[in-house]
Structure formats: structure tokens, C-alpha cells
Structure 1
Amino acid sequence: MKTIQHNRGIILAVIFTVFLSSPLFAQDKPERCVRFKDGTTIRGTILEMNADVIRIETQSGITVAHPFDSIDYFCDDYIKNSQLPAPEIKRVPKVVLPRHTWEIRPELSYIKYEEPEIMKEDGFMYGIGAAYTYHNKVMARLDGRYSYGKVDYKNSGTLNNIEDYMVELRMIVGYDFPLPSGLSYVTTYFGFGYRYLNDDSSGMVSSTGARGYERESNYYYSPIGVTTYTSLGNGWSYGVTVEYDIFWKGKQKSHLSDVGPGYDDIENDQEYGDGFRASLKIEKQVRYVSFFIEPFFRYWSIKRSDIERDSAGRAWVEPKNKSTEIGLSLAMCF
């Protein structure tokens, strides 16, 4: 018990010392030696230390994060008090994923929607996303994005500058698997997602005289995927994500009443389809924040819907379709 109290006293004393040596009190931060309960010993500059995490920049330039409660003792202070020999320092420290991460993510993308041999729309979307991620062996992430743009319609006629906007919400959970190198993780995950797309050409007329109308697309799906993280040193890292989307249900609402009297609004249910997405993230840690660039690819393929009839007995169907989105995200994490 005396040893535990002694170690806790050393840790509290060092916390006070690190606080006094922070930028508020000094310009230069001395290197510290920290021993963890798993036997890892790291020497470097302490960038951050609080009740949740200790973040250290090692002598080789790698930024390492550990849960605060995994600290065994601070070597320099322990040696001074106990006269024990200095422990061996491992040159390849274990990287720990940050426990709490908030993310703000502007993005630009090109999107193309096609109903084969019938029509297509394409254009650019401008968006903003935000996410919160938790890591502690178990991973949990909440993610949302909104994007807006204008697309051009083409079939036998054309109609340009149709306003589109999209909202997507996702919740995933998974597990982090550290790799033997100590510098990489593989995370598998599964979750639930909702995607809403509004395509509004109401009040517009195509080059052939056809009147436009508002369309609403709803997808309910489950993402299942793998994402990686690898530290490159000097605050740099990269990761790859590959995901398959299980399509549960789709609902398409066509506001045909926008065309004129005698037309009813129609809802078509879609039962079959799937999706795929992939991305490459390159990240740079700068003290307490990080920045990353992430090119991405998102794809959906949806089968033909069921048939619905309006009040006049006319049959309406949503044709099989596919959509492809290619873009780039620029984000800040803290």
C-alpha cells in the first residue's frame, strides 16, 4: 500500500511539474521518461496529460498516446527516490488510438445518377460533415453530413441546374486490433445508416417541354467494413477504409402533382440493392489537433421498385438505377 501511495504521489508531483513547464510558464519542454504497466518505457516530450490520456512525442518524432491510468511510474522521479537503475527504453513504442476524437469535414464531390437506357443526372456537390469517434479497444462512431449542389438532367431532352441536397446519418461500432509492429491497427465495424436525397426540378421545363417535379429518395442500410491506421512517424499517419453496404429498404416519393392536375404523388418501395465505398486518409498531427485529406468513392446499385398505381389506374415504377460519387474531404480533428 505504501508503494502504491508513493507512486501516486510521484505521478501527482510530475503532473504539477509538467503544468509548470507548459507554454504558460516556459517555452521549452524537457524530455521525460514514462514507464507503463504493460512494460513499455517511452522517453520524449509530453504534449498532453490529463485524467484520460497522456500524449508523448518520442525522440524519433512519433506521437504516442496511452490511457492515463496505464502509467506505472515516471522513471526519472522514481530513480531519484529509489536509487534503482534506469529501465531499458524500447525504441518502437506502441501507438494507442486517441480515446475521444471530434472531426469537422468539408468535402467536394462529383455525383452521377443513372437509370440505364432511360436518363442520367450529374453535377458537383459541396458538403460539410461532422463526427465523434471513441476508441478503447471497442470503437464507436457517430457521423453526419450535408451536401448541396446543382445537377444536369439528360434523356431525350435536357434540363440544367436542378437543385439537389443530401443528408446522411451513420452510427457504427467495432473493435480495434493492434498489429505486431505496434504502429498499426485494423478496425472492423458494423452499424446502421440513413441516406436522404432531394432532387427538385418542380417549376422547370426541359428542352422538349416536359415539366419537372420533386423527387425524394430514402435509403436504409447497414455498413460493414474494415479501416486501418498506420503511424509513419513525425506526426504522419495514413489509413484505408473499405466498406460494403447492406441495403435494407428504399422509399422513393415522386411529387407528380407538380406536373399538373390529374397526377397523384406516388411512393415506390425498393427492396433490393447494395452499396460500396472506399477511401484513403493521410493525416498530420500538429500538437493538439490533426489535419487530414481523404479522397473517397461511394457507389449504390438499386434494383427496380415495386409497381404502384395512381387514382386513374396508371402504373408507376422506379427503374433500376445506380449512383456514383467521387470526391475529396479536408478535415480537422481535435
Structure 2
Amino acid sequence: MTEHIQFKRHRRLRSSASMRTMVRETHLHVEDFIYPIFVIEGENIKNEVPSMPAVYQFSLDRLMEEVTEAYELGIRSLMFFGVVTDKDEVGSGAYAEDGIVQRATKMVKEKYPDILVVADTCLCEYTSHGHCGVIHGEDVDNDKSLELLAKTAVSQAKAGADIIAPSNMMDGFVAVIRKALDKAGYTHIPIMSYAVKYASSFYGPFRDAADSTPQFGDRKTYQMDPANRLEAIREAQSDVEEGADFLMVKPALSYLDIIRDVRNEFNLPVVAYNVSGEYAMVKAASQNGWIDEDKLVIEMLTSMKRAGADIILTYFAKDVAKTLSNQ
């Protein structure tokens, strides 16, 4: 019946597992991942985050357990988030030389100097109000916040951070941080800008883990409207002009189109943040037996890389490293 009909035989390249592997266009590698870790004040603490199964808060005396496991799996990039009880209006714990993240950074770099420590540069985990800067009235004062964010970046670089990753979404943050790093002698330290960060509902579990929920209002005056696409290019363009070395899109899964836009528009490395809500949904579905978690996670992270991400910041880093090793 089909002998006189001309059509393409696309299935020829799907005929076996070996054939499919040979022609596969997008590959995940353990080197693609940055693994986030929550570091909490206190001793002998390993607290599982209720909304993020298999994600824990570690006190400094137990931190190396997690770091060593990640290292042995081939993970060479980490990001630390501090969980503190002593907070104030200006988030002074973020830029304290003996701050918890600064101490964690020094500890890790001393034992594993080849690990890249990426420093999340923000104030929300350290402010009593939970916002990412200095409050004036009921709003965040952009320019006053920049001064403190610059101090935070310099303190993180001094502690040994290899990359500064500002996540605050203040206007001009890349320019001010770049100037401060250069003035302090850290001209060699790159900036991984959270260039495109949306005011997303996918951040809920993180705010539980880091105790960073705003005490009033929301972050919609400084984080982006999820409905906007062109604005993402304007935000990223500003950061490129101000000296960013990497461009991050956060969240990732519902913003694959934005990742592709940023990839097409700029030639800097693109980072996708596979955020806490995306992680928690997969874990919840897996615990209910609704999905094959390992296969779904590989598919999900592959979609981010296929969309244009060079690097993926993900809580699944250890899980995927194990899966890739088994493959």
C-alpha cells in the first residue's frame, strides 16, 4: 500500500538503544551541576527539610559529611545558604567575616581546594524582615541595599569563594559588586548574576529551609513578573554591560523559553536554577508512586540543558550523579 508513497524513515535512527545513544544531541554530565547545601548554626545538626525530602540543614561540624559524599560522586561545585537565628534589619550576618557561610567556605576550601564555591550574595536569610535589602517604609531601598550587598560579596571572596552569585535583583547590583570586588583586589573573581529571577511561587520550600520568608508584603517590586518575556532580555543585557560573567535564569522548568531566549541573545555561560518547588513536586509524586523519579529527573534536567543551559543548579545533583555513574 505504501510502495509508491515517498516519506522519510526517521525511525531508522531510533531502532536500538545503541543507535539512540549514538545520535543523542543533549547529554548531562556531573560537571554541569552546582549542588546547593544549607548550613545551620549549632552543633551535631542534620535536619531534613520537611518540604524537601532528602535535603538537610547541616551544622558546620557535620557539613563535611555532605561535602565529601558530593565530592566522591564527582560534584565539584557547591553553593552554601546560611540558616541563622541572630537576624537584624540590615542582615549583618551576610557580610560578617565570621558568618556561617564564610566559615563553611573556608572549611571546604581548606580540605578540597579544587571544589568551586559559588557564593549566593543576598541578605534575605539574614534580615529580620526577610527581604533582600534595606527597608525604607514598606519598600526595599535599592541604593542603600547595594552598599551592603557589595560588602557581602567582598567578605565572601575574602573567605575563599570562587564565584560571586548575586541573587537580590536590585538595579545596578552587578556594577556595584564588580567595582567593590575590583577595589578589594578580587579582579579575578567572576560574577554569576541571577540576571533573570522571577517572583515565583516555586520558592516556597526554599524559604522553609533557609527561614527567609518575607515578614510583610512580597518581592514583586524587585523580582520579575512571571508573565514577562522581553523584560528578561533587558535585565540580562544590563548585567552583561555591567560586567557579569554568567547569566542565571530562575526558576528553570516553567521558564525554558526564557533560558532559550537568553542563550540565543548572549554568548556568556547560561545557568538554570532548578528550584526547590520543582524539586519538591517531583519528590512528592515519587513518594506516592506516581512517577519513575530517576527517569523523570533526567528528562527534566535534560530539557533545561536542551533549552540552552550550560550549568544547572539543582538539589538533584547527587541523585543524578549516581544515576549517570550507573549508566
Bigger radius of gyration among the two: 1
Higher RCO (Cα < 8 Å, 6 or more apart) = 2
Q: TM-score, normalised by structure 2?
A: 0.23
Determine which structure has the larger strand proportion and give its number: 1
